[in-house]
Each structure stands twice: as C-alpha cells, then as structure tokens.
Amino acid sequence: MGSGDAARTSEERVADGPLTGRTVAVVHAAWHSCGSYQVNVSQINAYKALGARAISVAMMDVPSPPPPGGRWADYIAATKDLAADRRYYATPPRGGLWTSRLLKDGWWPLIHGNQAKWLIELAKLAPLPTGLETERIDLIHANHYFTLPLARRLRGASQAPIICETQDIQARQYVLRNQGGFFVPPYTTYEDMLAVELDWTGQADLCFHLNEEEHREFGRLLPQVRHALVYPAVAPVPLSEKGRGIVIVASDNYANFVSLRWFLNEVLPLAGDVPVSIYGNIDAGVKNRDKALYEAHRARFKGRVADLGAVYADAACILLPTVEGHGLSIKAVEALSSGAPLIATSAAFRGMGVDSSGLANVTLREDAPGFAAALRETSAKLRVGSLPRDCATSDTRRLYDAVFSPRAYADALARIAVPLLERARPPAPRCARTEQP
C-alpha cells in the first residue's frame, strides 16, 4: 500500500514543545464523517501542537484494493483536513479473503455475529504500508482495539510505547449493530466479543478512555494495565449566532438510527408543525433500515454537507434526542461548542461527568411529550426572535473550553505521553517491516 503526501493545513508545530524531535504514529480506522474521525483529527493536531512530527496510518476495515481504489477514493476526498505530516494507508487485501486461516478464524465467527474477531483477523492481513520502514517511530497512538495487530507490527523490534484509545467498549456497539444484521445461530454473545476486545486492548502499554464509564469499566476488566481518563478534543464549530433554524446533526450508525427513529415516530407527531432539518449521512442509514420512515420525512433530510460549520452557525437550536448508544457523543460536544440553546435527553451527555441540568441554555426532556413541548416552545420563541444569542458566553461554550478544547486535550496528552517516552529507549530505531503474525 502506498503512502500519501504530507498534509498542509493551518495547524503549526510548536518548535519548543515537550515532544519536539519525536515522531508519533496515529493508527486509526479509515473512517470519515463521524465522531471517531474528528477525534483522529484532534489527535494529530494535538501532537503537532506539542512539537511532535505526527503521521497518520489509516486502516481500512473491509478488504479493499490499494488506494486510491475501492473505498479509499471517498475516504481521501473527505479527509483533507487531517493535518498529518505524512499519511499512510493500510488495506486488508482482497486476495487474502479465501485463505483457510481467514475462513476459520474470521469468516466463520462473522457469520455468527462475531464482528470483534472478524476485525482482528482483517487487521492481521493488512501489511505495513510502503515507506513506513523509513520512519523512526517514538510513540504509537492506536485507536480502537482492532488496530493493535497493525500497531504491534509497526512497532517491530523497537521500544516505542503503544497507547490504545478505546473510544467506548466496542463489543456493546457490535451487539447493537447485530440487531440489524443477518447472522446465523449459534449467535455470538457480548461476552465472546468482549473477550476478544480485552485480549488485544490489554497488550497496550497504556489505555486512554474518553468517558468516565468506559474508564471505570476497563479499569475493572483490565486491572493489570495502566489507564487514563482523557476527554477528547473536538474542534469547535462556529458559534450559532445567526439563529435561523432548528437542526439535528447525526452520522450513520445504529444507535443514531434508533434515536432518530424515536424522535421522528414519537416526538414529532406531538410537536405540531415545527420545522426541523436533519444533517449528516444518517439519511442513508434511515433509508437503508426503514425506507418508509425515510420517505415520510424525506424533506427534512439534508444529507452530508460540505460545510457543516455553516449549519451550526445558522442554528437557532440544536436537538440531541439520544435514546441509544454508548460512550461519549462527539456530536454532543460539537453542539456544546456552538453555544446554541439545546434540547436534549440526559443520555446525550453520557460519560461527560457534568450535571447537564445545571447548564442554563440546555433544556432536558426524557420522554416524547416533554421533548415535543420543549420543541414547540422553542419554535414559538424563534418565530418572535426571543431565543438567546449569547453563544460565546453560554454555559455550554464555557464547558467546552474548559474540558473539550484542543488546548485542554493537548495538555492532558503531554502529561501522559512525556513520561511514557522517557521510560522508552531514545531515540526509537527505524521500524522493521515484519511478516503478519
């Protein structure tokens, strides 16, 4: 697999930061247009702000031709803001799909719903991208347990420490996803998938967790591993100062589909004629899973837009009708940064460790009638121009600045990464190209 050119953005490296002279490899899934991708963008920016040279190693989670073929064209086109000094692309080859090993260890578990095992076996097949053998890697920041087979090969014989950023207990996500899939009995259990996830997560030198619940759970499940709670940095969206519409922003995953289905089926019929626009690629998920629901609300779906910042800038109110999902919601953090009035369920703020009921510009409603009533009231205020516009000084914007801003995240990274590097052998040797395990 080939390497990409260095990305050039407005993000600048600090010449005298605590990681100056170090190279950090951020290993992540080749996803875009979702919360995990925004986390990856923030990781790259934070390491550069600390003085490091930051490279991206993106792993496709489906068999694919090498870039720019297959899904890589869409991924590369949608990730131009990933400000890595150099980008590499790792792909499980299609040619390895029918090996006896993958049939036994990957396909067979998958047809019974074991997505955890399937992703690990794919990662084992992905060779190191060409060009990585010339890199001198000091620290590897791997995202999700299933990138660890690739991260371990990247480390080779060096002593570069590996951080695993968990981004939720993935086995929970697979259980949700399996509800909408086609699998055959005997069905894989949550415990089966969790065992795979823990086996690989436990091989990291340190685990990052993005919310309080997963920090607590992983600490209990893997007591032998060092753990740290580090809230993610999310790039701030524009302040919602124009205030002209009521919006929902959501990416396509099963939990978001369940939440949006609740909103469309149970809340909107009680809200009257309230205009609500829905942005993000959740439109494709609703269309695929419930075509009748999509058709009934087709006019509300605006799809993925090139300038999501303009959507936030134009929002008078942002809705977070969350009834399903695990882990900290990146879209909820984006909404906080906008400073806009929010109508939300308490589940939207899961894992943040804050009392959302104390935020002056947040209206919390847990059931459909209450959510609909708040929506009607907000719509009425919008019509007469009485919604608050003090976005820059709102409670949610102040919370974002203190906890989820890039500066807060970079400071947390420095407190953890610097001691890890000091314990490792400096400088890190060139990574060796090794055979798949």
**Residues 217 and 271 grouped into a single domain:** no
Residue 398 lies in a domain: yes
> What b-and-e string marks burial along 265-303, b requiring 16 or more CB atoms within 10 Å of the CB?
ebbbeebeebebbbbbbbbebbeeebeebbeebeebbee
Residue 372 lies in a domain: yes
Residue 162 in 3-state DSSP? strand
Assign 431 a pLDDT band (cuts: 50, 70, 90).
Answer: low
Cβ(148)–Cβ(142) under 8 Å?
yes
Angle at 164 between CA 335 and CA 1, to 5 degrees: 95
Q: Which two tokens stand for residue 230?
A: 């580090």
Predicted confidence at residue 304, as pLDDT, reads 92
Residue 429 lies in a domain: no
**Residues 329 and 302 grouped into a single domain:** yes
Q: Which two tokens stand for residue 430?
A: 């060139």
**Residues 397 and 304 grouped into a single domain:** yes
Across-strand partners of 393?
Answer: none
**Residues 392 and 414 grouped into a single domain:** no
Domain extent for 287: 245-402
Residue 150 lies in a domain: yes
Residue that is written with structure tokens 């984006």 in the block: 334
- Reported as a single tens digit per residue, the pLDDT across 233-259 is 888 999 998 888 999 999 998 999 999
Number of folded domains that form the chain = 2
Selected residue with higher pLDDT from 405 and 100: 405
**Residues 156 and 226 grouped into a single domain:** yes
Q: Is the pLDDT of residue 2 over 80?
A: no
Residue 430 lies in a domain: no
Predicted confidence at residue 96, as pLDDT, reads 65
Residue 329 in 3-state DSSP? coil
Cβ(2)–Cβ(67) under 8 Å?
yes
**Residues 111 and 217 grouped into a single domain:** yes
Handedness of CA 208, 210, 212, 216 (dihedral sign): negative
**Residues 132 and 161 grouped into a single domain:** yes
Q: Which two tokens stand for residue 38?
A: 């925004």
CATH of the domain at 35: 3.40.50.2000
Residues 342, 19: Cα–Cα separation, whole Å: 38
**Residues 160 and 301 grouped into a single domain:** no
Give the Å distances, CA to CA, from 310 to 127, 149, 239, 313.
Answer: 39, 39, 10, 5
Cβ(70)–Cβ(111) under 8 Å?
no
**Residues 222 and 368 grouped into a single domain:** no
Cβ(148)–Cβ(116) under 8 Å?
no
Sheet holding 162-165, edge to edge: 86-90, 53-59, 23-29, 139-143, 162-165, 206-209, 227-229
Residue 428 lies in a domain: no
Across-strand partners of 236?
Answer: none
Across-strand partners of 89?
Answer: 58
**Residues 103 and 251 grouped into a single domain:** no
* Model pTM above 0.85: no
Residue 12 lies in a domain: no
Residue 435 lies in a domain: no
Selected residue with higher pLDDT from 157 and 424: 424
- Reported as a single tens digit per residue, the pLDDT across 20-65 is 999 999 999 999 988 889 889 999 999 999 999 999 999 999 988 9
**Residues 91 and 205 grouped into a single domain:** yes
**Residues 97 and 109 grouped into a single domain:** yes
Assign 5 a pLDDT band (cuts: 50, 70, 90).
Answer: very low
Predicted confidence at residue 353, as pLDDT, reads 82
Burial of 221 (0-12, 13-18, 19+ CB in 10 A): middle
